[in-house]
Amino acid sequence: MRALAALSRFAGNTFAFWVLLFAVIAYYQPGLFLPLKEAIVPLLGVVMFGMGLTLKRHDFAEVARRPWRVALGAVAHFVIMPGVAWLLCELLSLPPEIAVGVILVGCCPSGTASNVMVWLARGDLALAVAIAAVTTLLAPLLTPALIWLLASAWLPVSFTGLLWSILQVVVVPIILGLVAQRLLGRRQQQAVEVLPLVSVSCIVVIIGAVVAASQARIAESGLLILAVVILHNGFGFLLGYFTGRLFGLPLAQRKALAMEVGMQNSGLGAALASAHFSPLAAVPSALFSVWHNISGSLLSTWFRRVKEEPHTD
């Protein structure tokens, strides 16, 4: 069990490498991953089940202790990322399928890897976990509503279809994870130790399947989509950080806001795009998953060196 836990920690710490590696393999050998396309939604459900298994009561105690700061992070996330996505689509006149994919990933809740990046950045981890939990719980209503509001100009959007999908792949698995947590008792910790390995394995297969299904379109439009993803993610980090600064938050909490705003649950984006739109619409989510782990790691490394500015009278 110790060896498996050590392997799981290694997989979690090198997540960005595995995502990038499998994305490249899927691009050059799409036949290996095409049969896995139907597994995208169930695999995301496994990841969300793991999230439910790790949620603790004190994660939500943070909401009661500092409600306005958690609310600020959640509001900033669901305003900044969808807004930046819509603006980029308008300014760059993106093709409909790509535009919907960019908006879709912008409307997703905070990414599961963001908490790790906040910890590495020496940010306020308790605040980050609370923001991630709240945005995930709000996603069943806000994500389909925002996609319908912002993306309907490009392609038809079914609010009820998106809502039902999110209930299936987010809410139900999280509830099952919470139930399993109670049933397992002390053994829950053993399950949690191997979760990074399970989550990484599921996400790299999801990304591989999305890349394989869209290989020809990525060859045609991949650089454009990657440029949009980099801008989207970068503005998320920047505006999240300066939102915290505008409201007078200390440095550790500004770091948390930057990560929680700029990093998305791109696995959910890929699953929703594949189920409701097209393989091409899932590409922004796939590339976002690769890029935000790289950029988040770089930003967290820089954040570790940033010190709180001394107050001057």
Give strand pairing partners of 264. Answer: 110
pLDDT for 45: 80
Residue 310: which region, alpha, beta or left (left: phi > 0; alpha: psi -120 to 50)? beta
155-168 per-residue burial string, b: 16 or more CB within 10 A, e: under 16: bebeeeebbebbeb
CA 298 to chain CA centroid, nearest Å: 17
pLDDT tens by residue, 19-40: 778 888 888 888 888 888 778 7
The residue among 60 and 292 whose pLDDT is bigger is: 292
| Residue in 105, 102, 107 with CA at minimum distance from that of residue 89 | 102
pLDDT mean over 59-63: 67
pLDDT for 187: 73
pLDDT mean over 223-243: 93
**What pTM was estimated for this model as a whole?**
0.80
**Rounded distance, CA 226 to CA 228, Å?**
5
Give strand pairing partners of 110. Answer: 264
pLDDT for 60: 65
Identify the band that residue 86 occupies on the pLDDT scale cut at 50, 70 and 90.
very high
DSSP track, 59-121: HHHHHHHSHHHHHHHHHHHHHHHHHHHHHHHHHHT--HHHHHHHHHHHTS-B-TTHHHHHHHT
Q: Is the pLDDT of residue 288 over 50?
A: yes
Q: Is 58 exposed, middle or buried (0-12, 13-18, 19+ CB in 10 A)?
A: exposed
**Rounded distance, CA 132 to CA 111, Å?**
7
What integer best gives the mean pLDDT of the chain? 83
Residues 6+ positions from 258 with CB-CB distance below 8 Å:
237, 238, 240, 241, 244, 299, 303
**Rounded distance, CA 133 to CA 138, Å?**
9
**Rounded distance, CA 161 to CA 45, Å?**
17
Number of C-beta neighbours around residue 57 at 10 A: 6
The full set of domain ranges for the chain reads 38-304
CATH topology (fold) of 38-304: Na+/H+ antiporter like fold (1.20.1530)
| Residue in 276, 288, 286 with CA at minimum distance from that of residue 147 | 276
Identify the band that residue 308 occupies on the pLDDT scale cut at 50, 70 and 90.
low
Task: List, in sequence order, the alpha helices (H) in the chain.
Answer: 2-13, 15-28, 40-54, 57-65, 67-92, 96-106, 114-120, 125-151, 159-166, 172-184, 188-213, 215-246, 251-262, 266-276, 279-305
Share of the chain above pLDDT 90, in %: 23
Residues 6+ positions from 6 with CB-CB distance below 8 Å:
none
**Rounded distance, CA 212 to CA 229, Å?**
19
pLDDT tens by residue, 130-186: 888 888 888 888 988 999 999 888 877 777 787 887 777 777 887 888 888 878 777
